[in-house]
Every structure is written in C-alpha cells, then in structure tokens.
Structure 1
C-alpha cells in the first residue's frame, strides 16, 4: 500500500507539471455539487518552467537516482508522454460527495489508449480492465478506480486513504482507531460511469460562475463552492438553528492564479446569496480613508488592514440571522443597543501592527510591537455609550494596560500604547508608505510585510544552523503581500492579491521551485548531521572489555 501511495503521488506530480492547455472538455464531466475544482493551464507554465528545468532540481535528481525505482516509474519521469495522456488538454482535479461520502477525481484527455491502459496496469489489482460499451473500467490498488474511453479518462479516489497512511505512519502501524478505509470500489465503478454520462444541467458545464472564471487569464483556475462544502460537512444543522445558513447559501469563490516575474498574481471573486449580496452592496463604501493611514505615528508598518463599510451593514447581517433581539437585550443592560452601534462610526476602519522587535532570552522569544485599531466617529453620543460599556467591561475584568482607548471628535483609537494612540489622534505624522498607491482607491485593502517579519526571526535563529539557513532562504524570496478590492461587478465582489518577491526579474514559479529545492537540501543536510551524531553517540556507548585478570 505504501508503495502504491508513493507511486500515485509521483504520477500526479508528473502529470501536474507536464499537462498543457486551458480548454479541457473533460471538465464537462464535473458534477454540479463539486465543492472544489482546480483546472490547470500549463501551456504558459511550461514556458515559465519546463520539465527540463524540473529535471535539474535536487529533488528530481534524488528520486531518479533511487536504484530501487521500478522501471515504469523511471520511464514516466524521463518521458511523461509514455503514460498515454494527451498533455495538450491539461488536467482537472475536483472533490465532491457521493452517497454522503467525499471522493476525489482527476480527469483528462487520452492521446494513446493502449499506452494509457498499460500505464494503469502498474496501479491495478492484477485484474484486467472490464468493458462496458465503449468504457473501460479498472480496479486499482487501495480500492480506487479508473475509467476511460478512447478520448477521456477519470480517476476516482478515496481521500481517506491519505489520512489512513498518515496516521499509520504517525502510530507506526494500525490501531483500533486507525483502520484501512472501507472498500468503495463498487460505488466508484458506478460513479465513474455516471460521470462519463453527466447531462449538462447536472454538471458545471452550465454554471455561469465557473464559465466566467475560465475566461480569465490564469495558469491555474480554482472554483470553490463553499455552500456545497459546508452543507456536505455535516455542520449546517447548527448553522440552520442559528439562521446562519443565509451566509452559506449560494456562497462561491473563484481564483485565477498567474505566476509572473517577481510576483504571484491572484484574482479573486466572492459570490454571496441574494440577501447577503444586497446588504454588502448597500453598505460597502467607495474607498478606504488614506488620511487615517497617514496618521499612523510610525513608518515601520508590518501589517495593515483598512476598510470602508458602514456599521449599519453589520446590524443588518445580525438581523438576517434573527439574533438582533437577543443581542439588544444583552447590550441594553450595558447602556447601548444595535442602533447606537450603527450610528457611532462613519464606516472607516483601520487596524495596524508596527515597530515589531523580537528578542530572545534563555527561555523564550519576546516580541514587542505596537498595535492600533481605529474607527471614524460619526455620532459622538452613540460612541460614548459604546466606550462607557467597554470601560465597564474592562473594569469588571480588571484594568489592562495593554488596551488603551482614546477618542476625539473624529476618531477612535485603541492601542497597547497610550502614547501611540495619542500621537495617532494628534495626526501630526503625515506618514508616507511605499504601498500607498496600491492601497488607495478601494473599499478594502490589506498589506503584510513578510520580509520584515522574517528579518526579526532571523536575529534569534542562530542556535540551529538549519533553521537559520531556512530563514535566510526565505529572506531571499519573500517581500510582501498586498491585497485590494471589494468592488461589485458581474454579480460578485472582486479582489486582487499580489504575493511579491524580492527578485523582480525572474519568474515567480522558477523562484518558488528553487526555494523548495533549497529547503529540501537543508532538510537532507540536517538528516545527515543527525545520523552522524547518532553514530558518534553509539561509538561512545560501546561497553569496554571486562578485565578478567585477578
């Protein structure tokens, strides 16, 4: 079983990096209840990082040098086309639920049917494929199934196999609570046949959101049906009792991922149910308040989140759940209600972390930083009610100097430093940041400086050489993450995220490959050093000869 799992993982890696093409007709065989779908367009990725590039990595060289590798595995690594798969049409991976249980599937197009059948013999249980009309079905090891005709193939797999092998490795064998998954091969054979004969209205072929996603430029397209994922998880019962299912209904997310020079570009879109969409559209503002960002009394910002969203929208969401009466009953005893919350702020919000310094003593790591939460004041009497309730709660819990609340006629400031909050409210800083241009002009904006965080950890990572090398490699790669959006268009809320690298000239996919390769080499070096240390320890533990001379 373990060898089959390793071979399956190896094959998936080969197929992933070798497939090309965006338009995959096999994608029409995706059921409408699929919770997660990933469609790979590696036609552009093969130009950014070819199979020959992968063959130069330390990971590949380690695998191919294994003398115990079976011949078919070596052939596949050297020439992925030997699998019989048509890599000009790409691959689709998805997960869905059938008969109340989750399964994982991989679909694609066949180039040479005979080669494909021979390829799958390496995974089979030893029994030949059976025919059902034009469809061939083969039982694979670990009760998985593959089906194919002269054009397309579908692998149907049980995700419980991975969980079983992981826990088996952790516990060094089977345990009463970790037994092999039930045999679902008969179910998978029936399911495989159904997937080949799906009607358009039972698949994603007529899903407008999925179709819109595939029109976007992307090396990888991801579709996530959050409604289906949550409903199939068995947790909707509690959500329904709290009327939170309104937040789940028709909730879908899409991602178009591009590996560009110097950064990974992610276009995201969030689709909500009609009721929730109407609330968010009505209360989402135009742009974040850049003046609030400029008031931050530090230029050393490590993380920042800003938004323009009317608090009345939060109140409407609470009313949608039917919990407004209960919440009002509770808050009235504290001197305010939901209407006061709606009127208190003007919809401008800001949260920031600055001036991070990490030190280390003999026993622990000690982080020091400044945090700030701010909101624009719209109605001072309502804001005073909220502050009075906060002070009352704080008093009941005991005074906490880590939380300092201050306000003026325009702004509320909460910080772990009284002087930091005061300087912010004074507004004399007029700070300028490199990210100002990227963040401005959107209802929501996020910034996180990965490099600054890693630099602080680098200063306290001297004890373990491997850890220090890991951080150094990370410092050479990661710069920051900038995400903006919130605009409503074509039925959804759009966001755009850039994961920025230090090197702006090289393609991000190649940089990620090099980074992973370096981490692998560091891991191998640590393993070798541990083995050497154990060998030296064993030599010291040799029992000395017994002196029998009297």
Structure 2
C-alpha cells in the first residue's frame, strides 16, 4: 500500500506545477537549518504559470492521459491534494541533513493555507493519525513510512530519519519498512538528547522521539541558525528560478556520516566556506542551468594560483570532422592537486608510495603534464560485428571515431616519467617517440603517439595522423565553439545523432510512436565553466530541444502524458488478455466430463 504522506507530497508536487494562485511569497526557507548538506527547491507558482500560459491544466492532462474513468484514483488524489490545505503555489524544499548516522534526516517542507483542512486530510487518509501538540506546532507519526508529519498555521514539515548506509531511507524508497537497525539508531539518538517536548512523546514509538526533537528545533530556530544566514543560499533564493539546488560542502565534510570521519582534518579545513548553488529554468526550446561554486579563503588562494587556465582551443579545432558527436575540453593545472595534497599533510606518504613503486616523486608527475586535455568523438553508429564467442553469429556494437590529447609541459620531467620503472618493459624510445615494446600489446591498444609535445590516443592510426598533422578543421553547430573560448571547461553532446541510432523498427507497434517522439525531443547539450571572479566560479549547462518554439517544460509534460497514456493502455491490454485467458481456461475445464476427470 502506498504511504499516505508520500502520496500527498508526490501528488502535491504534480498538482503544484498545474495551479497558480495570487499569494505572498512564502517563507519556507526559514525552516531549513544551516547544517543542511543538500537543499532542492521547487518554485511551484512560477512553473505553473509557464504551463498554464501554454494551455496546460491538470484537467486537460488527466483527460489526455486517460481514455476513460475520469473519477480515477489519480484524479481523486489530485483533487484531494488541491483541497488538503497545502499551498500548491508555494516554494517546496527538500533538505538533507547528514550530521551522523544516528541523527541524519530528510526534511520536506512547504506552506499551508488552511491548517484545519490539512488536519482533516490527514485524519481521512492516515491510518495511524493521532494528533499531538508540541510547542507552537502539531504533529502525528506515520507508522507506515516511519516519518513525522508536523505543521503550524503557516507551514508543513515532513521528517524522516536517514540511515546514510541505506538508499531506501531516501524519499522515493519509502515503501520498504525501516529495519531494526534503523529503529535502534533513531531510538539511541532520542535517548542521547534531552528533548524539550519529552512530555508529549512518551506514548510515541521510540523511533519518533528524535524526530519530534528535531521538529521542535526547526520551528524555533534563530535567524543565524537557518540556511538563510549563509550568503550563497540567500543569493540563490533571490534568483527566483523555476528550480534551485544548494550544496553545503563544508557541512557535508564536517558530518560524521558517509565515511567523512576518514577525511584528514586539514582537508576539512581547506573546504571551509565552500558551497555550490545552481538554478534551472524552463525556457522556450531549452532548459538553462546556471551554477555557482563558492570557495573559502584557503581553497580560493590555491584556485587563483592554479585554476584559471584557459582552454587551448586549437586542440579542439584541429579535429578533422564535420560529424562530431561530442567533445570535452579542460584546462587544469595539475599542480593544484599537489597543493591540495600538501595542505592535508599527506604529501610525504604519497611521495613514499610513488618512490617505492616507480622511483618518482609527486612533483615529477605534476611537472610532466600541462593540464590541457581534450577528448573528441565523431561518426557514432551502431555496427553489426562478428560475435567473438560464437562462430557465424553477429552482434550489434556501438562504434565511433575519437581522439584524446593531453599536452606535455616539461620534456625533462616527461622523459623521467616515461623511462621510470613504472613503464619498464612496456615502453621503449624510438627517436623522439615512445612506443609499446610488444607488438602483441600494441595490437590490443588504441593508436597512440607519445612524444615530448603531447600524449595522443586515437580510435585508428589514420585519424591519429590526420589530427597530429593539424590540417583538419572541426565543424560544430553555431555558437558551440564560442562557449569553449576563454573557458576553463567546455563540452558538447549531439543527443539527436545518438538518438537516431535507436532501432525503432524493433520496438512493439504500440510503443514505436512514443519512441520516435523521444528521438525527436532533444537536440543537443552544451556545458561550460568560466574563470573565477572574486570568490565565485560560474558555469552553464544548456539542454536544447528540437522544437525551439515551445517551452521545454511543456514539451516534457506532453511527452510524459503520452508515456502515461501508453502505460495505461498496456496495463488495460494485459488485464484484458489475462481475463480472456482465464475465460478460455474455465471453458476448457468446463467442457471436460466429470467422470472422465475422475477416471484419469
């Protein structure tokens, strides 16, 4: 059976993007603690306006997705959610607070328009509904999902203990009951904390006590205890985007969960003041994601010294093809890695291990390579090739042409690395090149060129020679190459070319139209990161759709509606076939004379 609160939140999320209301901007963010490691935001009002502007309402979607039964469970769930007292035009937040294995939790919160309606909804839909009152808030414990539902006159907060070693403790995996270990962990956490609401939790399951204490804290936080007191999070809220995300790197590093205790203390100190934020907006013909990486004082000093290299665009431009599938270019000074290792105090250990195995030092490796890297792929296709396991048989395998190129920075350091014991017996020097010593080994390796100028690998020797000659010229869609110029990281993927290789003719007749539609949904994707400015490095991801005249969210919703319609049709068809099979079986056994059955 579906969990009631999970069903409400899921349905509310769907309904929220379909409804629009004129209300003041809610203050849900004040219930998010500053120690939250990850925060996801959904601006339901802004998203709903984009859909409604394009003529999409929940009623129309339900009508499109279902051929009949307008009073279906889905429609009823939506109507119940719309009348549940939850403000479906508010901002919804999901936060993950790690802490340690005993008190980590997930929080989902939104705004209420009518607390009385919300209580009535819970009473009608939650089997374990048992209203209790804390300090300035009410709550009930859902014994099925092991979650605490709390609310006051303005907000609703759902809390669930997060066992960081179990994925199914994350919302979306709630159908699996918590194990005894999780219950014990939560109970231990409750026993370890003196709860100001202990008087109202004595008759609750022990696993709920810590969550009640957490809820009491969230409802009564001071401003300097909230995520809003962190400048990067405050800036994110001002973006007014369709969706937002926030990563508190410092909080995650300082938690005792997920093995963070094994990290050196100096490394944690290095990450102080580090945050990452991003926004996603659904625009006409594309989804635009903008990112910001904030750095603390110590990391910023390292990054400014080594992290502002620009991509060598010539390494990309000389790729000889007009049928490029994708590329990634990166300008990265490897000395940054050395500086980070040194800051943690583990450089001595690294040097000792390198010396024992290769006779090299960390600086030898870092000095050898320039940190300019590029990988380009083209001519992607699905080919039928001989099956290596069965004579006379063939199999379909993906195939593409490609080049990987990395510049050499210091030829003396490079020669020291290549002639070190690490490559003894594997490589030999011939003139100004290093080649594989064994012809048999060379036959199984990609084509390669190892010189004092660069390390270059390729899918075949012809392409490798053309690339190294530098006489080719890459051809990319308009505007793609410009995103790489001046950037520290850039990439491109032609999704449409990859989609064309999907064999739609092999799909079921019912599924083929949807598969063809999926092939024609996306065009390509680009991403880039820019040089740091102040204490922030900005980035951009753009997912382009083939239809450039329609809002991207509308296209996704329409596609999702068609997929839901197909799923329902397949379900109905399967049920009809099962009923026919059962009728045929009953008819068959009914035709057998009783005495004949007894004789046998």
> What TM-score range do you get, normalising by the shorter chain?
0.7 to 0.9
Report matched runs for 1:270-285 at 5 Å: 270-285=293-308
Match of 1:482 among 508, 526, 549: 526
Match of 2:396 in 1: 365
Q: Would the alpha carbon gap of residues 470 and 352 (structure 1) be closer, same or farther in structure 2, given more than 3 Å must change?
A: farther
Q: Would the alpha carbon gap of residues 374 and 215 (structure 1) be closer, same or farther in structure 2, given more than 3 Å must change?
A: same
Give the secondary structure class of the aligned counterpart of 1:264.
strand
Matched residues in 2 for 1:484 and 1:70: separation? 41
Write the deviation string for residues 400-446 of structure 1: whole angstroms up to 9, x where unpaired.
43333214564431223222222111100022312212322211111
2:11 matches 1:10:
yes
Q: CA deviation at 1:90?
A: 2.6
Match of 1:324 among 347, 351, 358: 347
Report matched runs for 1:509-528 at 5 Å: 509-528=553-572
Matched residues in 2 for 1:470 and 1:68: separation? 24
Answer yes or no: is the 8 Å Cα contact 2:302–2:339 preserved in 1.
Answer: yes
Match of 1:194 in 2: 217
Match of 1:211 in 2: 234
Q: Would the alpha carbon gap of residues 278 and 97 (structure 1) be closer, same or farther in structure 2, given more than 3 Å must change?
A: same
Q: CA deviation at 1:367?
A: 1.4
Match of 1:105 in 2: 107
Matched residues in 1 for 2:490 and 2:526: separation? 8
2:428 matches 1:428:
no
Q: Which moved further from structure 2: 152-161 or 313-322?
A: 152-161
Q: Which moved further from structure 2: 279-288 or 57-66?
A: 57-66
Matched residues in 1 for 2:344 and 2:317: separation? 37
2:258 matches 1:234:
yes
2:476 matches 1:472:
no
Write the deviation string for residues 432-482 of structure 1: whole angstroms up to 9, x where unpaired.
3122123222111111122211112337x6254466545422221111111
Match of 1:313 among 333, 336, 339: 336
Matched residues in 2 for 1:222 and 1:411: separation? 39
Q: CA deviation at 1:7?
A: 4.5
Match of 2:431 in 1: none
Report matched runs for 1:148-167 at 5 Å: 148-158=151-161, 163=168
Matched residues in 1 for 2:115 and 2:174: separation? 36
Give the secondary structure class of the aligned counterpart of 1:291.
helix
Matched residues in 2 for 1:528 and 1:500: separation? 35
Q: Would the alpha carbon gap of residues 296 and 59 (structure 1) be closer, same or farther in structure 2, given more than 3 Å must change?
A: farther
Where in structure 1 are there 5+ consecutive unaligned residues?
Answer: none
Q: CA deviation at 1:38?
A: 2.1
Give the secondary structure class of the aligned counterpart of 2:44.
coil
Write the deviation string for residues 150-189 of structure 1: whole angstroms up to 9, x where unpaired.
333323245679937988979xx99999999974333323
Answer yes or no: is the 8 Å Cα contact 2:126–2:142 preserved in 1.
Answer: yes
Over aligned residue pairs, what C-alpha RMSD do you find?
Answer: 3.9
Matched residues in 2 for 1:63 and 1:191: separation? 46
Matched residues in 2 for 1:87 and 1:114: separation? 16
Q: Would the alpha carbon gap of residues 68 and 523 (structure 1) be closer, same or farther in structure 2, given more than 3 Å must change?
A: closer
Give the secondary structure class of the aligned counterpart of 2:472.
coil
Give the secondary structure class of the aligned counterpart of 2:221.
coil
Answer yes or no: is the 8 Å Cα contact 1:458–1:468 preserved in 2.
Answer: no
Matched residues in 2 for 1:89 and 1:294: separation? 47
Report matched runs for 1:395-434 at 5 Å: 399-400=441-442, 401-407=444-450, 410-434=453-477
Q: Would the alpha carbon gap of residues 70 and 314 (structure 1) be closer, same or farther in structure 2, given more than 3 Å must change?
A: closer
Matched residues in 2 for 1:44 and 1:166: separation? 24
Matched residues in 2 for 1:53 and 1:296: separation? 48
Answer yes or no: is the 8 Å Cα contact 1:55–1:61 preserved in 2.
Answer: no
Q: CA deviation at 1:30?
A: 0.9
Q: Which moved further from structure 2: 254-263 or 434-443?
A: 434-443
Match of 1:223 among 243, 246, 249: 246
Give the secondary structure class of the aligned counterpart of 2:565.
helix
Give the secondary structure class of the aligned counterpart of 1:279.
helix
Give the secondary structure class of the aligned counterpart of 1:192.
helix
2:450 matches 1:445:
no
Q: Would the alpha carbon gap of residues 59 and 462 (structure 1) be closer, same or farther in structure 2, given more than 3 Å must change?
A: farther
Match of 2:79 in 1: 75
Where in structure 2 are there 5+ consecutive unaligned residues?
Answer: 187-204, 386-392, 428-435
Write the deviation string for residues 40-72 of structure 1: whole angstroms up to 9, x where unpaired.
223332221139533322588549937574997
Q: TM-score by structure 1 length? A: 0.84
Answer yes or no: is the 8 Å Cα contact 2:15–2:88 preserved in 1.
Answer: no
Q: Which moved further from structure 2: 56-65 or 273-282?
A: 56-65
Match of 1:145 in 2: 148
2:543 matches 1:499:
yes
Matched residues in 2 for 1:187 and 1:324: separation? 42
Write the deviation string for residues 308-359 of structure 1: whole angstroms up to 9, x where unpaired.
2222223323333444344444545546443333333333211222221212
Match of 1:46 in 2: 48
